[in-house]
Amino acid sequence: MKPGRLKTLSRIAVTLIIFSAAILTSIALWQRYMNSPWTRDGRVRADIIKVAADVSGMVASMAVHDNQLVHKGDLLFTIDQKRYRLALDQASARLTASKATMIMRGQEFKRRAQLGGEVISNENRENSRAQADAAEALYREALAACDVAKLNLQRTEVRAPVDGYITNLSIHAGDFATAGIPKLAVVDKNSFWVYGYFEENKLRLLHPEDPVEIRLMSSDTPLHGHIESLARGITDRDNPTGNELLADVNPVFNWVRLAQRVPVRVRIDRIPENMPLAAGMTCTIIVKPAQGS
């Protein structure tokens, strides 16, 4: 065989080998992307506690600053207590008065109950008993009102409900706090978990308790966890409710169907002490199916 022809065949063979390798590599990458249980669309999540005052009033003082770590029971801020101290004094005075009235009516009933029918009529005796019962009821009502006043005074000190971090603090001394309206947020430090948004055609590869590797963009140290649960519903954007309470179906249908992404909740097994986590961080989630699943 001539050297030129041999050289040409060699080039063709090398080209075919490279082309074949490229095709096989592309197929392998496509299979890995389509059928491997992993996603780059992962988010770190945490329980966010919206802290609101239980009573209304002006914020007298702040005991925390932004991004501070607090522990359950730590003082966050204080509502002005003057009005609630006066309310407690008023309730205590009414309690004292109602107690005195109850004692007086009770003694009157006891005396009249010992008198004979020739001295006092049965009607007066029954009226005396009714007055004693009413005085006792008023005393119990005043006692409850006093307890409520004590509770309101105690609730002027707003405390941390969990161990966590103060985030995006925007309340200051002098602001008015309305009961029931959140004034600050606490990120529960013991509640961090991960949401992985997996394409629907990969859900068949996922099972509860499957081990998971979590790779954060902010760290080279991977975290480890396991699948806790799969979401059972997402919003159907193509079927909102119309003005007449009928389905408002989108008349346009694209033949290229994109796989929906379904949230999968992942529990983190252990968080290293030196690894700061923040709700909203992005991560890659790689599921390693358990044996036999």
Tell me which residue of 83, 103, 90, 223 sits closest to 155, measured CA to CA. Answer: 83
> What is the per-residue pLDDT for 244?
73
Enter the tokens of residue 138. Answer: 């008023």
* Integer Cα distance of 74 and 157 in angstroms: 10
> What is the per-residue pLDDT for 92?
96
pTM above 0.85, yes or no: no
Positive or negative: CA dihedral 214, 278, 189, 161: negative
Share of the chain above pLDDT 90, in %: 57
> What is the per-residue pLDDT for 223?
95
Strand partners, 165: 69, 187
> What is the per-residue pLDDT for 17?
80
- What are the residue ranges in the chain where pLDDT is below 70? 1-7, 9, 27-35, 115-121, 123, 290-293
Q: Please state whether beta strands 157-159 and 57-62 pair in parallel, antiparallel, or not at all (unpaired).
A: unpaired
Residues 6+ apart with CB under 8 A from 56: 79, 176, 177, 178, 179
* Domain range list for the chain: 37-46+190-287, 81-155
Q: Is the domain 37-46+190-287 a CATH 3.90.1150.200 member?
A: no
> What is the per-residue pLDDT for 208?
92
Q: What is the DSSP string of the chain?
A: --HHHHHHHHHHHHHHHHHHHHHHHHHHHHHHHHHSSEEEEEEEE--EEEEE-SS-EEEEEE---TT-EE-TT-EEEEE--HHHHHHHHHHHHHHHHHHHHHHHHHHHHHHHHHS-TTTS-HHHHHHHHHHHHHHHHHHHHHHHHHHHHHHHHHTTEEE-SSSEEEES----TT-EE-TTSEEEEEEETT--EEEEEEEGGGGGG--TT-EEEEEETT-SSPEEEEEEEE------TT--B-TTSSB---S---SSPPPPEEEEEEEES---TT----TT-EEEEEE-PPTT-
* Integer Cα distance of 291 and 293 in angstroms: 6
Second-level CATH architecture of 81-155: Orthogonal Bundle (1.10)
